[in-house]
Amino acid sequence: MTVSSGEGFDPRALAARLSGLEKSGERAPTADFVLPATLCEAMDAQNFLAAEERISTHAWKVAMSPAGEAVLAPLHPYLEAVSGASISWRPGMKFEAEVAVRLGQDIPVRQNGEYTREEIVEAIAECHLGAELLASSIQESGQVSFLLYLAERIGNKGYVLGPALPKSVVDTIGDTTLKVTHGGQVIYDALARHPKDDVLVWLLAYANDRLRPHTSLKKGALITTGTLCGAIELTSRGPIDIVLGNEARLSLSIV
């Protein structure tokens, strides 16, 4: 039976359990965990997990909880390569093609007023095509407890940063074609489509979170913004080739 945090939640213990499952390649049901009850508890566990796995990165993913709270998690392993990068496969692994942005200036916590989308665009120095790989040591992933999934870095199991894109892509991505092949088979061929129809929605929401760490969203940080093709399960190993529009290409291998 799942136990709530009011009955002895320990973020260090949760981080150690998640790290152990990751190393062993095993999975456990949500009911086997003592769950975080708040966003703060989940982030505490996520931070301990990052320390347990010796993650030190300037690359992050933004997302939104079912309750409408903007959340952040580190990307690891993080690779920068237009081609030749490889990520280890595991059962249940999923793939997402994404747009990533690199900040050219700090976005400090703002206690009075909120950032506008235009201010976020102004703070972006670069845009890139990227590929995120996801998997979970939790059998139900985030379907039962999103906070548990948040502690597990929102399922991130790797990220490959690809070629630069024109900055205008944050406004035009919905009109851009996207084709993805895996092992030579087409797994997506349609217009790129973000779940919120705007790749900056979650970044803007996180920027306006007055409770986020003051060390977040610093100049040079790389933020990936969410899938453009849904989460596509990879049932086997093999090469992945991504073509966005007519020119932007990214290749990687699942090994």
Render pLDDT for 53-83 as a digit per residue (tens, 0 to 9).
999 999 999 999 999 999 999 999 999 999 9
Amino acid at 118: E
Is 21 contained in some domain? no
The answer to whether the CB of 231 falls within 8 A of the CB of 93 is no
Is 230 contained in some domain? yes
The model carries a pTM of 0.94
pLDDT at 5: 47
Give the residue-averaged pLDDT of 4-19.
Answer: 85
Render pLDDT for 13-40 as a digit per residue (tens, 0 to 9).
999 999 999 999 999 999 999 999 999 9
End-to-end CA distance of the chain: 36
pLDDT at 1: 32
Is 24 contained in some domain? no
Burial class (CB in 10 A: 0-12, 13-18, 19+), 169: buried
Give the residue-averaged pLDDT of 2-8.
Answer: 53
156-165 and 78-80 strand pairing: parallel
Render pLDDT for 83-96 as a digit per residue (tens, 0 to 9).
999 999 999 999 99
Render pLDDT for 160-179 as a digit per residue (tens, 0 to 9).
999 999 999 999 999 999 99
pLDDT at 247: 87
pLDDT at 8: 82
Render pLDDT for 113-152 as a digit per residue (tens, 0 to 9).
999 999 999 999 999 999 999 999 999 999 999 999 999 9
pLDDT at 25: 93
Range of the domain at 240: 57-254
Is 232 contained in some domain? yes
Is 15 contained in some domain? no
Rounded to whole angstroms, how far apart are CA atoms 73 and 155?
9
Q: What are phi and psi of 74, to 5 degrees?
A: -75, 150
Share of the chain above pLDDT 70, in %: 97
Detail the DSSP E strand segments found in 75-148: 78-80, 85-87, 94-103, 124-134
Instruction: Judge whether residue 250 has pLDDT over 90.
Output: yes
Domains held by the chain: number: 1
Is 213 contained in some domain? yes
Is 6 in a helix, a strand, or coil?
Answer: helix
Rounded to whole angstroms, how far apart are CA atoms 71 and 43?
9
Burial class (CB in 10 A: 0-12, 13-18, 19+), 107: buried
Q: Grade residue 238 by pLDDT with cuts at 50, 70 and 90.
A: very high
Is the bond preceding 77 in cis, omega lying within 30 degrees of 0? Answer: yes
Instruction: Judge whether residue 7 has pLDDT over 90.
Output: no
Is 158 contained in some domain? yes
Q: What is the CATH number of the domain that holds 240?
A: 3.90.850.10
Give the residue-averaged pLDDT of 206-224.
Answer: 97
Is 29 contained in some domain? no
